[in-house]
Amino acid sequence: MWHGRFSKDPSARLRAYGQSVSFDQRLALQDIAGSKAHAAALRKARLLTPNELKSIHRGLESIAREIRAGKFVWREELEDVHMNIEAALTRKIGAPGAKLHTARSRNDQVATDLRLWMREATADLVSAVRGLQKSLVGLAVRGGDAIMPGYTHLQRAQPVLAAHHVLAYVEMLERDAGRLADAAQRANVLPLGSGALAGSTIALDRRFMARQLGFDDVSQNSMDAVSDRDFACEFLSACAITGMHLSRLCEDTILWASSEFGFLALSDAHTTGSSLMPQKKNPDIAELARGKTGRLYGNLFSLLTTLKGLPLAYNRDLQEDKEPVFDSADTLGASLEILAEMFGAARWDKRRMAAAADDALLVATDWADYLVRQGLAFREAHRVVGTLVALSVQRGVTLRDLSLGDLQAESKLFKAGAMKCLDAARSLRARTAEGAPSPKRVAARLAWWGKRLASAKS
Ligand code: ARG
């Protein structure tokens, strides 16, 4: 493409080192869409005849068909997706193909292609997020009114509904979908027309191209437009944060699936055995999804680091943007899909949850609240109940085994009704504020999610 200036071919090593076609061929259909819009703008500027435009469009469409059918032959010596397609077009239609690159550089071309690609990838990821949300709502519904211990510091804290715990992840995923959509929206600005870095003396109608390609706006600084990869960083960041949420969900799942907790049984179809220990049933999917979060973080840091020292405008370093973006989209998409399937087939062990939730210490705070309702200051009430907990530990009994006399020895405010406080179901019923886990609140939120997700496509 640049033989005019050069007297030697690139070395074989340079070719292999510099090629991007092995991975940027994933941008082929976006590249073709961009070229069609660019050709239409060239026609509008009277730089192509109607017949030349028609022949370019037809040629590009036939190349797109070959690519979709897997019949297109990619050539490493043509370096990247852009030059492969342009060369194929010229081979196919002759002279008009050589006019296509007028007023365009691969710098504005690749920035356009990647934005288009990301827009589609984001839509797919958002629908995969919706799929996992639906699966988790199903799991929460199957939890019914089952109570489990809620944890802080991974120590039993207070009772919650299993459904409430699961719905926490549905909330997180909702924010993730919002971040992905937000990244896609900010990326939806057309770089094409920025040329190599300084636009072109041949002015094309950029608003027209933006409309053809479904962009909301056109970039306002050509140097920024060819070197900006913020949009890719935002995408990678949204993927990394989503991965962090999946990793936490997986960690909970791994704990719940252990013999120590035993709250959740994963299907045989979603677990693996051991080659050595015949009894093992391992939650590999959850472990892999937790592990792959490292890749999602790595991809974000890879691109941030690539960008940090770059002078304006385009530098070849920017070619390193694509593999992290592709990998994060693939990795996150696969994790979301397999987790949706896994939770769809997981079964609660309500007996094990009930046994764990029966721990009277979980409702110790309710005694403090009881004393507060009798007029005691919370700090004082906290101290009184703490003393009773210490007493029960010292006697090796549960709080329920203390007598009313034991209680009244610490505070006269305890009446017979105090014993009733040590009931997890009753405790939960009383947690009625918005966002709290009373069965009524949780049921209402479940219904809300059911409706919300029914209207969201996945
Ligand atoms: N393959 C290149 C990339 O991904 C396309 C742009 C190349 N531009 C250039 N001036 N060499 O960044």
Read off the CATH number of the domain in which 430 is found.
1.10.40.30
Tell me how far apart the alpha carbons of residues 136 and 131 are, in angstroms, rounded to a whole number: 9
| Ligand 1 atom closest to Cα of residue 314 | 10
CB atoms within 10 A of CB 168: 19
Do residues 275 and 411 share a domain? no
- Calculate how far, in angstroms, residue 194's C-alpha sits from the geometric centre of ligand 1: 14
For atom 3 of ligand 1, the residue with the nearest CA is: 319
Q: What is the pLDDT of residue 4?
A: 82
For atom 11 of ligand 1, the residue with the nearest CA is: 316
Structural domain count of the chain: 3
Do residues 328 and 242 share a domain? yes
Residue 274 appears among annotated catalytic residues: yes
Reference 204, options 125, 337, 119, 101; nearest CA is 101
CA distance to 375, 376, 412, 414, per residue, from 406 (Å): 20, 18, 10, 10
Chosen domain end from 321, 339, 356: 356
| Ligand 1 atom closest to Cα of residue 79 | 1
Do residues 47 and 136 share a domain? no
Please indicate, yes or no, if residue 183 is contained in any of the structural domains: yes
Stretch 358-372: mean pLDDT, rounded?
95
Please indicate, yes or no, if residue 457 is contained in any of the structural domains: no
Stretch 268-295: mean pLDDT, rounded?
94
| Ligand 1 atom closest to Cα of residue 316 | 12
- What is the band of 3 on the pLDDT scale with cuts at 50, 70, 90? confident
47: three-class secondary structure by DSSP: coil
Q: Which of 11, 22, 258, 274 is flagged as catalytic?
A: 274
Please indicate, yes or no, if residue 290 is contained in any of the structural domains: yes
Element (H, E) at 225: helix 222-227
- What is the band of 458 on the pLDDT scale with cuts at 50, 70, 90? low
| Ligand 1, pocket residues at CB < 6 Å | 20, 24, 80, 106-107, 110, 314, 316, 318-319
- Calculate how far, in angstroms, residue 393's C-alpha sits from the geometric centre of ligand 1: 69
Out of 316, 320, 321, 326, mutate this one to test ligand 1's pocket (max ligand atoms within 8 Å of CB): namely 316
Please indicate, yes or no, if residue 369 is contained in any of the structural domains: yes
Stretch 202-229: mean pLDDT, rounded?
98
- What is the band of 457 on the pLDDT scale with cuts at 50, 70, 90? low
Q: What is the pLDDT of residue 455?
A: 87
Do residues 183 and 240 share a domain? yes
Do residues 154 and 252 share a domain? yes
Residue 82 appears among annotated catalytic residues: no
Do residues 273 and 410 share a domain? no
- Mean pLDDT, all residues of the chain: 97
Out of 19, 86, 107, 315, mutate this one to test ligand 1's pocket (max ligand atoms within 8 Å of CB): namely 107
- Calculate how far, in angstroms, residue 351's C-alpha sits from the geometric centre of ligand 1: 60
Please indicate, yes or no, if residue 448 is contained in any of the structural domains: no
Stretch 370-393: mean pLDDT, rounded?
97
- Calculate how far, in angstroms, residue 65's C-alpha sits from the geometric centre of ligand 1: 25
Six-digit token string for 416: 């017979």
76 exposed, middle or buried (CB, 10 Å; 0-12, 13-18, 19+)? middle
Do residues 177 and 322 share a domain? yes
Do residues 139 and 262 share a domain? yes
| Ligand 1 atom closest to Cα of residue 322 | 4
- Calculate how far, in angstroms, residue 196's C-alpha sits from the geometric centre of ligand 1: 10
| Ligand 1 atom closest to Cα of residue 80 | 1
Query: In angstroms, how far is the first alpha carbon of the chain from the final one?
Result: 43
Q: What is the pLDDT of residues 221-253, one digit of tens each?
A: 999 999 999 999 999 999 999 999 999 999 999
Domain of residue 389 covers: 359-438
Do residues 342 and 386 share a domain? no
Please indicate, yes or no, if residue 446 is contained in any of the structural domains: no
- Calculate how far, in angstroms, residue 93's C-alpha sits from the geometric centre of ligand 1: 25
Please indicate, yes or no, if residue 66 is contained in any of the structural domains: yes
Six-digit token string for 345: 């087939």
Q: What is the pLDDT of residue 2?
A: 72
Q: What is the pLDDT of residues 70-99, one digit of tens each?
A: 999 999 999 999 999 999 999 999 999 999
Chosen domain end from 301, 333, 356: 356
Q: Which of 7, 153, 403, 455 is flagged as catalytic?
A: 153
Q: In CATH, what number is assigned to the domain containing residue 241? A: 1.20.200.10
Do residues 344 and 407 share a domain? no
- Calculate how far, in angstroms, residue 108's C-alpha sits from the geometric centre of ligand 1: 9
Do residues 243 and 300 share a domain? yes
| Ligand 1 atom closest to Cα of residue 82 | 5
CA distance to 36, 135, 176, 336, per residue, from 453 (Å): 36, 10, 14, 16
Out of 112, 319, 322, 326, mutate this one to test ligand 1's pocket (max ligand atoms within 8 Å of CB): namely 319
For atom 4 of ligand 1, the residue with the nearest CA is: 319
For atom 2 of ligand 1, the residue with the nearest CA is: 319
Do residues 41 and 170 share a domain? no
Tell me the sheet residues that pair with 190: 218
- What is the band of 5 on the pLDDT scale with cuts at 50, 70, 90? confident
Q: In CATH, what number is assigned to the domain containing residue 46? A: 1.10.275.10
Tell me how far apart the alpha carbons of residues 414 and 270 are, in angstroms, rounded to a whole number: 51
Please indicate, yes or no, if residue 222 is contained in any of the structural domains: yes
Chosen domain end from 309, 335, 356: 356
- Calculate how far, in angstroms, residue 55's C-alpha sits from the geometric centre of ligand 1: 26
